């Protein structure tokens, strides 16, 4: 009986110490609702990346959902999305990584140097070092592409969701001041844009 009670207490302690996934933050206006949830726990990457997690290499995924409640198709400029973070006393904008860049990072993880000056340079395009017979690289690239936002067009009364990837070099604490900036959402067939979205990722939706 005592052994069972001890096991029960240890199990509860283990659950209490396990990090809980951060809830999604959201913003909506003009018929578009966007939610965003940063994946800050390694367990969230196990299903899309069962072997080589980009999180281990410092890349953080943000799961985004675009819900179009209007009667018109909307187009999201995915390449213009930025992750705004506070680094020291300045704000830096990070661009989303391509699937190729995610694979590059996952295959060449670099250990974080805690004594280095905190700096997050915007990632350059993929170096193109993939080898035709590099099965691991191809596997991660395919997995990153499959889990990414599949299209920039959101049909009327529909939802599109997927992952965006950002290279934070493992400094997940920067999400304490992070905002996801989406400046380019247009009504297809019209010369008309929606007001920009700026989602505070430091706070979940209420």
pLDDT digits (tens, 9 = 90+) for 58-102: 999 999 999 999 999 999 999 999 999 988 888 899 999 999 999
Which CATH number does 21-109+128-200 carry?
Answer: 2.60.40.1150
Q: What span, in angstroms and rounded, lies between the C-alpha atoms of 162 and 136?
A: 22
Output DSSP code: residue 193.
B
**101 in Cβ contact with 125 (< 8 Å):** yes
- Mean pLDDT across the chain: 83
Q: What residues have CB less than 8 Å from 2, skipping those under 6 apart? A: none
Domains of the chain by residue range: 21-109+128-200
Q: Looking at residues 126-150, what average pLDDT do you find?
A: 82
Q: What span, in angstroms and rounded, lies between the C-alpha atoms of 31 and 136?
A: 41
Q: What residues have CB less than 8 Å from 172, skipping those under 6 apart? A: 38, 40, 60
Q: What span, in angstroms and rounded, lies between the C-alpha atoms of 142 and 30?
A: 34
Quick count: other Cβ atoms within 10 Å of Cβ 50?
Answer: 10
């Amino acid at each position: 009986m005592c052994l069972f009670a001890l096991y029960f207490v240890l199990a509860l302690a283990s659950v209490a110490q396990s990090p809980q996934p951060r809830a999604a933050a959201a913003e909506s206006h003009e018929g578009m609702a966007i939610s965003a949830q940063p994946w800050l726990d390694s367990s969230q990457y196990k299903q899309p990346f069962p072997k080589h997690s980009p999180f281990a290499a410092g890349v953080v995924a943000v799961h985004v959902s675009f819900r179009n409640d209007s009667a018109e198709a909307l187009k999201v400029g995915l390449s213009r999305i930025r992750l705004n973070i506070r680094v020291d006393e300045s704000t830096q904008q990070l661009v989303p990584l391509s699937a190729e860049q995610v694979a590059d990072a996952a295959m060449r993880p670099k250990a974080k140097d805690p004594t280095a000056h905190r700096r997050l340079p915007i990632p350059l395009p993929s170096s193109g070092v993939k080898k035709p017979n590099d099965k691991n690289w191809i596997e991660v690239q395919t997995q990153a592409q499959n889990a990414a936002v599949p299209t920039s067009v959101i049909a009327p009364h529909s939802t599109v969701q997927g992952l965006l990837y950002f290279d934070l070099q493992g400094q997940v604490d920067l999400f304490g001041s992070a905002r996801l900036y989406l400046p380019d959402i247009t009504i297809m067939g019209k010369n008309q844009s929606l007001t920009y979205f700026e989602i505070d990722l430091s706070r979940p939706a209420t």
